[in-house]
Amino acid sequence: MLKSQQKKLGIIKMRDFIYAEMMVHVPMCTSKEAKDVLIISDSAEPLSAEVAKHTQANLKIIACSLNEISGLGDAAYDVVISEMPSDMAFFSHVSRVLKKDGQFVTTHPSLDDIGANKNLMTTLANYFKIIMPYNIGNGATALLSSKEYHPTADINLQRADMLDGLSYYNCDVHPAAFAMGNYIRKEYLGIIKN
């Protein structure tokens, strides 16, 4: 199907809102009430709009590029969301800017790219207690890395269901997004930290 036909049918739009909702609300509803959120992206507007749906007092959303993270303060953010390719130095900075119980979500290669993902998850294991892939729509996955909270055990159900203006995400979708087939579980045994 051509992209113009997909757009007419609303397929691209649907995928876009699912992606933004899943990248933002999974870590935001896993965390204690996040006050400080960092988005690392070349186009942070859709993710920032989703974060703004969380109405807690004093919520601060900061968007930056990959090059700006080294200048950010230590232990300043509850949640970091990244759409940028990254390396060991980047993860070190992410860990540094996250609070001691922070959540980090990043895009990553397809789970079918086993070598790249094992390297990525092994690197993240230097900084995080929990590393779990989850479905973000259209067959893609993201990685949630957490210093403290478990994304299915520590979900804030009330927060997940009280958000207004969502088209996809809810408290049922959240834990279901972490369900993976046996072939993935077997391939990543000992690498995924849950």
Task: Render pLDDT for 78-107 as a digit per residue (tens, 0 to 9).
Answer: 999 999 888 888 999 999 999 999 999 999
Find the largest Cα–Cα distance for the chain. 47
> Is there a domain that residue 48 lies in?
yes
193 within a domain of the structure (yes/no): no
Task: Establish if 194 belongs to a structural domain.
Answer: no
pLDDT on residue 13: 55
CATH of the domain at 81: 3.40.50.150
Q: What is the pLDDT of residues 10-55, one digit of tens each?
A: 444 556 789 999 999 999 999 788 999 999 999 899 999 999 999 8
Band (5; pLDDT cuts 50, 70, 90): very low
Domain total of the chain: 1
Burial class (CB in 10 A: 0-12, 13-18, 19+), 191: middle
pLDDT at 3 over 50: no
Q: Does residue 115 form part of some domain?
A: yes
pLDDT at 133 over 90: yes
pLDDT at 9 over 70: no
Residue 177, domain extent: 3-187
Q: What is the pLDDT of residues 51-73, one digit of tens each?
A: 999 987 688 999 998 889 989 99
pTM of the model: 0.90
Question: Which of 132, 110, 137, 134 minimizes the C-alpha distance to 121?
Answer: 132
Residue 6 binned pLDDT confidence (cut-offs 50, 70, 90): very low
